[in-house]
Homo-oligomer: A and B are copies of this chain.
Amino acid sequence: MNIAPRLLQSFLALAHCRNFTEAATRMHMSQSAFSQAIARLESQVGVKLFDRSTRSVSLTPEGKLLVPMATRLERDIALMFQELHDHADRKKGKVAIAAPPGASADWLPRVMANFQRRHPGIQLQLHDTYSDRILELVRNGTVDFALNREIERPEEFDVCKLFDDPHYLVCPQDHPLAKEKSIRVAQLAGENYIHLLRGSNLWQRLYPHLSRVAIRDTGFELNNMSTAAGLIANGMGVTIVAGQSLFNYQRLGLAAVLVSDADLRNSGLYLLKRRGHSLSVAAQGLREMIEADKPVLPATQRPAARRQGRTRAG
């Protein structure tokens, strides 16, 4: 039961031409090989398909029966190939990714827009959400891959660092620490601290530091960084954010001072996916574009200059 699609094509060609020589030409083979092919087909299906006297070729009743079935089959096979090749060529496909809000606000959408322009047939989806949810989306396969900050058990995933993204203290320009090159969390003793979402990745990371320092928790728990920025600009306190989110605060002219505690200083953005599961061709394409287009954020650079990530559209 192992009929080559090429044989079906030959059958249909002959059914159409009713002439071995012409059909053979159409199949790009010698007339003799074509004759053998038809004979082989007939022996495989177990019935004569053509009546041929040297001067005329016509379908037997069983041949007539096969025509519509073979036609449908040939079309389905072609469609299957088309579909796979379209995916291989990135003309079709879906990519879903997840990322924290900082990445999702500015840089990532720009990369995704570039990708969309280059591969208009691929459907993109972005989940901007918090760390634990991101991990869940990767685990259950809802997204092809994700961007995230440092996570607890990186061995569960395939992880690779995209770029460094250290944390900064955000405070008013006239704040005593604003002129420092860098600070340590310990220096925040006595400050009012404004938390963003409690339980977030950042909160989990800051907590051990802050709890050791005599900091005054303002009790705020905010969803939007623009709210935090407004509060800080009006002297209500300070906060710490990753470099990638600084733009929310610079809009209001706030100062940003590098935090030099090791884990906050060395943090960065990572790309992660399920272990042992390769990416779809489409997802791999987006991944490569993300890796090629990541913003340059050298550790020593002052935050005011950070928007110069190069754009590489094709």
Q: Which residues of A are at the interface with B, using a C-beta cutoff of 8 A?
A: 1-6, 45-48, 51, 53, 56, 58, 60-62, 65-66, 69-70, 72-73, 76-81, 83-85, 87-88, 144, 276-281, 283
Contacts and interface: CB of A to CB of B under 8 A. Distances in A.
A170 to B, nearest CB: 41
A277 B58 contact: yes
Contact of A66 (B51, B61, B70, B84): B84
A61 to B, nearest CB: 3
Contact of A2 (B4, B88, B276): B4
Given A46-B88, A58-B277, A65-B87, 14 more contacts: A1-B78, A1-B81, A3-B81, A47-B88, A60-B278, A60-B280, A61-B144, A61-B279, A62-B84, A62-B87, A62-B88, A62-B280, A69-B79, A73-B73
Contact of A5 (B1, B83, B144): B1
Number of copies of this chain in the oligomer? Answer: 2
Contact of A84 (B65, B87, B144, B283): B65
Given A46-B84, A73-B73, A277 B51 contact: yes
Nearest to A79: B69
A65 to B, nearest CB: 7
B62 A69 contact: no
